[in-house]
Amino acid sequence: MNNNIYNGEQAPYVPQPVTQKVKEKPVYSKAEVVLSVFVFIAAFCFMRYVVFHAMGFITTGLYIAIITAAIVYLRKKECSFSKFNKVLTGVLYIFSIVFSITANNFIKTLDALFLFGAGAYLVYSIGADNKNVERFMPYALCKALFEYPFSNFGKQAAITSDSLSNSKAGSNAKYIITGLVLTVPLTAVVAALLMSADDGLQRMLSGIAERIFSEEIWNIILQLCLAIPCSLYLFGMFYTNTHLNGLAVLDENRCKQRLFNIRFVSNLIVYTAVTPICILYVMFFISQASYFLSAFTNSLPEGYTYADYARQGFFELFAVALINLGVLCFMSLFSKKTGREKTKVLKFYSVTISIFTIILIATAISKMVMYIDNYGLTELRVYTSWFMVLLAFTFVMIIVKQFRYDMEFAKHFSIMFTVMFAILCFSRPEALIARYNIEMYESGYLDELDTNTILNMSDDGLLVALNEGEVTVEEVNEHKEHLYQRDSFGKLNIPAILVDSKTQRDEL
């Protein structure tokens, strides 16, 4: 019998209640809420004391605070710290000191970039519970710097919104802000009328307006605006590395498969393409033997000055080194038989190209030494020499890799680069340049001392020149006012404090 029939008539239709699925709100821990607030403050300080202003003790303290907060948060999330991660944390703390011991803005900029990359990798490494540097370091850096932070880029905004909506103080704050926005036009009209009626009020409000709309206020507003995406990025980095559910972690087998899939070039094609290059290098070295060997005998080829001789060597070095690195990468990545299957012929070509490059680097370094002996040091000569040595070590490691396939290239390169970068940062190049040039001048090897170049250095070089008596207090005071790093923030480092104390004491 039909249930809808009742006493011979159709029963009235009674609608059934529809149950809707209530979307569960994500629950955030207290640690994440606190981290969200801290990260925004840290992002603003980063914009103000790293990006917009010269850096010193404030920046050192900022980096130490960020590193410490990251460690506390990761421990709260029960992440384990391997010995490798503890060492990497110590490295970050050590490099944070650079901002306080040097006034060189270029070095501090490089150090800030290094800390940014190494810090992102540290958070990634702790979240992944790494015991060592990954073999596939480029893939790991892509995840640490791009994939993980941007996968939860809006998470901080969601946490902030939920925290404000669930808080009475947050709701009140929204009402207050709405009220202020609504009253701005009316307040402006009333203020204009009152200012026209009273000169005293006009002067008072004009003074307040000048302060509100001053250049520094606009700088702060710009820094706050830039701090928002920076804060979202940093929070996304921390959050993602402690909530890896559903995210693709770095898989070595998948990395191997990706590298295997791009091997499409026949080894015979590679040999054919590289052979003319190697023959050309041999012919080049034979034809220019006297030109290159003169660098090792400290003699100039006919028709060259020291400046022309050294400069031409650098152009050759950078062009050939970049080409050779590209060729080696192409051979190692795209040859069909590479990796563990790498043929002896391919290894021979890799070693040959690396040796040719090392010879060019050694020649260029020798010419640079000759140039320095005659003209002294400059920042450009120091930085290019450092880079040449870094390149030479890289090609040596490539040669070793051809005979020891199991060599952990990423690990050894990371260690080598960190040590080299530490030498560059902690040697304080400008102090080294000033000291070397003064000693060469006093010994008679330099005809004149370029004091104008020293005066335009940061306080690193000025401090050495002041201590040696090669520049006067009057000269320092005349030049230092025009240099950016000597604003109120740039004075907060050890060399700047020593220079200021010395100039003020001598003036008295």
Distances (CA, A) of 188 to 67, 184, 201, 213, 371: 45, 6, 14, 15, 67
- Answer yes or no: is 416 within a domain: no
Q: How confident is the model at residue 251 (pLDDT cuts 50, 70, 90)?
A: confident
487 burial (CB, 10 Å; 0-12 / 13-18 / 19+) is exposed
| 79 shares its domain with 214 | yes
- Answer yes or no: is 425 within a domain: no
State which amino acid sits at residue 265. V
Report DSSP letters for 296-340, one per residue.
TTT-PPTT--HHHHHHHHHHHHHHHHHHHHHHHHHHHHHBSS-GG
In this prediction, residue 340 carries a pLDDT of 80
Can you say whether residue 444 is alpha, beta or left, with left for phi > 0 and alpha for psi between -120 and 50 degrees?
left
Among residues 422, 390, 258, the alpha carbon closest in space to that of 325 is found at 390
| 281 shares its domain with 196 | no
| 473 shares its domain with 368 | no
Please report, rounded to a whole number, the percentage of residues in the chain having pLDDT higher than 90: 35
Q: Are 148 and 124 in contact (CB under 8 A)?
A: yes
| 455 shares its domain with 387 | no
CA gap 296, 303 in Å, rounded: 18
Q: How confident is the model at residue 217 (pLDDT cuts 50, 70, 90)?
A: confident
CA gap 189, 191 in Å, rounded: 5
What domain range includes position 463? 431-507
Last residue of a domain, one of 218, 249, 280: 249
Q: Which is more confident, 304 or 399?
A: 399
**Helix/strand/coil percentages in the chain, nearest 5:** 75, 0, 25
CA gap 37, 67 in Å, rounded: 16
* Beta carbons within 10 angstroms of residue 340's beta carbon: 7
- Answer yes or no: is 289 within a domain: yes
Last residue of a domain, one of 376, 399, 422: 399
Lowest mean pLDDT among 4-13, 307-316, 341-350, 478-487: 4-13
| 375 shares its domain with 452 | no
Q: What radius of gyration, in Å, describes the C-alpha atoms of the chain? A: 32
| 356 shares its domain with 332 | yes
Q: How many CA atoms lie within 13 A of 187 on its CB side?
A: 7
| 216 shares its domain with 270 | no
- Answer yes or no: is 406 within a domain: no
Q: How confident is the model at residue 486 (pLDDT cuts 50, 70, 90)?
A: very low
Range list of H helices, 335-450: 344-375, 379-403, 409-426, 429-443
CA gap 95, 100 in Å, rounded: 10
Residue 219 above 70 pLDDT?
yes
In this prediction, residue 500 carries a pLDDT of 84
Mean pLDDT of 214-225: 83
380 burial (CB, 10 Å; 0-12 / 13-18 / 19+) is exposed
- Answer yes or no: is 257 within a domain: no
- Answer yes or no: is 19 within a domain: no
Residue 355 has which token pair? 């040796």
- Answer yes or no: is 413 within a domain: no
Residue 430 above 60 pLDDT?
yes
CA gap 377, 437 in Å, rounded: 6
Q: Are 309 and 375 in contact (CB under 8 A)?
A: no
Among residues 315, 317, 295, the alpha carbon closest in space to that of 306 is found at 295
Residue 21 above 90 pLDDT?
no
CA gap 400, 392 in Å, rounded: 13
| 161 shares its domain with 304 | no
Packing angle, helices 57-76 and 105-128, rounded to 10: 0
- Answer yes or no: is 254 within a domain: no
Among residues 60, 149, 138, the alpha carbon closest in space to that of 102 is found at 60
| 94 shares its domain with 41 | yes
Mean pLDDT of 300-327: 71
| 61 shares its domain with 181 | yes
Residue 91 above 50 pLDDT?
yes
How many structural domains is the chain composed of?
Answer: 3
In this prediction, residue 318 carries a pLDDT of 72
| 36 shares its domain with 84 | yes
Phi, psi (deg, nearest 5) at residue 243: -135, 75
Q: How many CA atoms lie within 13 A of 180 on its CB side?
A: 6
In this prediction, residue 339 carries a pLDDT of 79
| 181 shares its domain with 279 | no
Last residue of a domain, one of 351, 377, 399: 399
